[in-house]
Amino acid sequence: MLHSRLDYKKMAGQHLLVLIVCLILLKFSATFASKQNTTTLNEAATCIDGASITLTFGFYINSCPEAEPIIFSWVEKAVSDDPRMAASLLRLHFHDCFVNGCDASVLLDDTPNFVGEKTAAPNTNSLRGFEVIDAIKADLEYVCPQTVSCADILAIAARDSVVLSGGPGWEVEMGRRDSLSASKTAANNNIPGPNSDVATLVSKFQNVGLSLQDLVALSGAHTMGKARCSTFSARINSSSSIANSPDVNLEYLESLQQLCSQSDANTTLADLDHITPTTFDNQYYVNLVSGEGLLGSDQALLTGNEETRGIIECYAGDMGAFFEDFKMAMLKMGRLQQANGGDGEVRTNCRAVNQLGS
């Protein structure tokens, strides 16, 4: 009896000890968690120093861990419904980044008192995928409201599109802010046109801080997707200098002439890579070497400059080298930002800036 009373006392003492240890642990983990949250919030806040934003890996790891899986599953569905969508989403990110940085300015709709970028020459009747971004954004707003920026959605969707098409994967840097405005003029000026010569292409890339090598690597995105006949008419017009360049593949050009003579040049489409049109591989470069690049600007990369030709020949023979350089160049392009990058917001609807007070 005495024994068991002692045992009880001992047990009670042990329980008390366990309880105290638990409380200490609880307190410690709460402090740790709150510190972690503070760090994250602080990181998000200090990342914006008024002039630029520092992008980070795993930016949403605490605030919205579901973000990347949600984006991936929507892109996966969109690409399985329409294989061209992978190309369209990749291009959206490019057209966003080249106009005052990757800030989702390309997604803003025109309104009676606002002109966005959608009607700029390189975009109008051409850019696709806005509905996919809308669906992703709606889902993310439901799961983690006002957290994931539209600009980050574009960057992640571009990566997922490449992966789903057989290309390389990479970790996307995040923490971009969505713009409060857009610039149709900058969209017209900054995005290169399909009849550009190499010097123009190089200078448009250098204007935003991307190198000649980045230009050749990123052009490899034309390993998938389509272009309208109107964008390569100079390439197939036998009197143009582009059509008469030394590396022309006549059989290929004749097939394009035939395709485009049949119907409306603004709606008829040809594959940018006619051998493996929906696969992300190095076939684009192989095509250039054999004179089968679709756009004048693509083929010009081979014929117009010794340096770009050398890189093309390297990628044509080494898919691994292309994948490595493409990843690096996508990361560099994904870092382009406005001078006042910190002025942005996280839009709740990618097509419109938030209302004041929201």
- Judge whether 357 is annotated as a binding position: no
Helix H or strand E segment including 79: helix 67-81
The greatest distance separating any two alpha carbons of the chain, rounded to the nearest whole angstrom, comes to 111
Cα of first residue to Cα of last residue in the chain, in angstroms, is 69
Query: Is 274 noted as a catalytic residue in this protein?
Result: no
- Judge whether 324 is annotated as a binding position: no
| Interacting span for ligand HEM (CB under 6 A) from 18-26, 28-36, 68-76, 223-231 | 223-231
Question: Which residues, in sequence order, are bridge partners of residue 178?
Answer: 345
Task: Rule CB under 6 A: say whether 231 interacts with ligand HEM.
Answer: yes
Nearest to 226 by CA among 116, 107, 316, 125: 125
Task: Rule CB under 6 A: say whether 334 interacts with ligand HEM.
Answer: no
Task: Rule CB under 6 A: say whether 90 interacts with ligand HEM.
Answer: yes
Residue 118-147 contact track with ligand HEM, rule CB under 6 A, x = bound = --------x-x-------------------
Q: Which residues neighbour 119 within 8 Å (Cβ) at sequence distance 6 or greater?
A: 110, 184
Task: Rule CB under 6 A: say whether 184 interacts with ligand HEM.
Answer: no
Residue 285-304 contact track with ligand HEM, rule CB under 6 A, x = bound = ----------x-x-------
Separate counts of helices (H) and strands (E) for the chain: 14, 2
CB nearer to ligand HEM: give 283 or 348.
283
According to DSSP, residue 221 is labeled: G
Measured distance CA(108)–CA(104) in Å, rounded: 7
CB nearer to ligand HEM: give 111 or 266.
266
Helix pair 296-303, 212-219: axis angle to 10 deg: 130
Among 101, 167, 192, 334, binds ligand HEM (CB under 6 A): 192
Among 218, 248, 288, 300, binds ligand HEM (CB under 6 A): 218
Q: Which residue is nearest to ligand HEM (CB)?
A: 225
Q: Which long-range contacts (CB under 8 A, 24 or more apart) does 45-50 make?
A: 47/175, 48/177, 48/341, 48/342, 49/342, 50/340, 50/342
Measured distance CA(316)–CA(307) in Å, rounded: 14
| Interacting span for ligand HEM (CB under 6 A) from 167-175, 213-221, 247-255, 346-354 | 213-221
Among 115, 188, 226, 321, binds ligand HEM (CB under 6 A): 226
Percentage helix, strand, coil for the chain under 3-state DSSP, each rounded to 5:
55, 5, 40
Closest approach, Cβ 171 to ligand HEM, in A, equals 17
Among 55, 71, 91, 322, binds ligand HEM (CB under 6 A): 91
Task: Determine which one of 3, 15, 93, 95 is catalytic.
Answer: 95
Residue 237-266 contact track with ligand HEM, rule CB under 6 A, x = bound = ------------------------------
Task: Rule CB under 6 A: say whether 221 interacts with ligand HEM.
Answer: yes
- Judge whether 99 is annotated as a binding position: yes
Rounded to the nearest 5 degrees, what angle is found at the Cα of 22, between the Cα atoms of 19 and 23?
85
According to DSSP, residue 223 is labeled: G
Within 26-85, which residues bind ligand HEM (CB under 6 A)? 84
Residue with tokens 């994250």: 40
Structure tokens at 197: 């010569």
Measured distance CA(300)–CA(212) in Å, rounded: 13
- Judge whether 214 is annotated as a binding position: no
As annotated, the active-site residues are 95
Residues within the interface to ligand HEM (CB under 6 A): 84, 87-88, 90-91, 94, 126, 128, 192-194, 196, 201, 215, 218-219, 221-222, 224-228, 231, 272, 295, 297
